[in-house]
Structure 1
Amino acid sequence: MGRAYEEVVEYVENQSQGKCKVLSAKTEHTFDDLGYKVNVWNIKTDVDGAWWVVEGNQIPMNLYPQSAFYFSADEVYSFHMGLMQRMFATNEDYEPEDYVRAITLDGEIAPTLFRKLKNIALLIEEAKEIEDFQSIGVRCREILIELGNTIYQPEMAGSDEQPQASNFKKKAELFVKFYLSGSENSDYRNCIKKLTEATWD
């Protein structure tokens, strides 16, 4: 059995930090072809547009902006389940420290960031109530802001206005443009932008 209507509404509004109100929320489709019963919700908000929310038993809840991905209910379900399977997959060759060092350009922040991420991983294992996951979400946003402030340099904005200190999404976009400039890297930039928008929103 999936989450109740009230839980989904509360989740969406909390993810926007109270900046939007849910106008309507309905289950667009329910899937059970991978051993889990998973619901895809179609959400409409007053200022943040339309969203998909995917949730189900033993499946972490997440939301995806419809305008950023143009997913159908079936596509967002496939994307979400693929993402979850990759997260849950065990890979002996995967070293999380290497990933953290890469995204921080092996800067001084790397050990601190990795320690915080390990603490969040422990919290995820122990989380049960929706408030637990909301608290984890807040910590993740704080880590992204810290990461953005570390990897971003003012010259990356060029002649554009400097982004606010907490604007991770803009800083990540300028960072990627700086290091992946040129038409030959446009696909990479678009892919990273979509991932950044999904992660931050």
Structure 2
Amino acid sequence: MEMSEAEERRIRDYVNSQSPADDQAGLVQKVGSRRILGRERDLYDVHCAESRWWVITDPTNLYSQDDFPEMEQALIFHIGLQVFMAERERTELEEEQLEHVNTAWRRFSQAVDAMNTAEESEDYQGVGIKCRDALIALVKTHADAEWIGDLDERPKAADFKGWANIFADRLSDGRMRGYLKAIVDKTWDLTVWLQHNSNATPLDADIVIEATGQVLQVMSKLMRQRENGPTPRCPKCESYRLEEDIEQVMEPEPGFYESTVCGSCGWRTEREFTSLRDHFVGTNVLEYLAPPATGPSDRMGGQKLPRPRTEAPDPEGTG
């Protein structure tokens, strides 16, 4: 499959950042792309000097072909690992999303913790109470936000439906607004129903948790979109496939050339140079330039684990 120069560089830099200096990436081939559970995964075959890896994206990770001879094996392991991590990290959100629902999400996390230890119907009713409290915390956090604007009549502080419908009007339109108002209405009714259901079951509580988490995440994403503005598109072909292309150079001065490139038509902005010193303000440049450490801690079950920056461990922050 074809891939852009920026895409190839991103994968190559990622593999190199996870490999010792004497086993750097050579041939990088894109061998497929699969949409599974609504998420696109790109698949690459990477030949290093002494090893060979499958690289799979979203999140980006690599798997030794000695342990996974077939690409499908690595993909199945990758998806399984994601499912496991998703369950373990059920209460984790990206920092930018968490910013908008911090208090509500803390209460939602308490609901998940309560669910994990619940045994009787009254315990599952308690999960409903905590989910309801999380929804109320969301509206209380943003009731005085600038983007709410002037209101003829303000709902009561605990009127989740009233406030959430105002949020929907301010943050969305069209079908998205209709969807948001629908899940707001039904989720609130579910939490109240669970709270008073003396025959509550584990399934009841689990579904209410899923519904509550969905409302909080959708609200958070729409608030974040309002801050960031519309998703940028290529001015030439209107594609959304805009990528940051960052190339490291050592001459005539160590630094990086940065530009934005369209993965669809190849349109590119003018390249801008940033010196190494300016790029790493506040960091230990010498530590970055040192070769990556290797050893048993780098591997788990044949998988070469990323260092702390899983999605973007390379210096350019692109892969």
> Higher helix share goes to which structure?
1
Task: Compare CA radii of gyration and give the structure with the larger one.
Answer: 2
Instruction: Report the TM-score, using the length of structure 2 for normalisation.
Output: 0.29
Instruction: Report the TM-score, using the length of structure 1 for normalisation.
Output: 0.44
The answer to which structure, 1 or 2, has the higher relative contact order (CA under 8 A, 6+ apart) is: 2
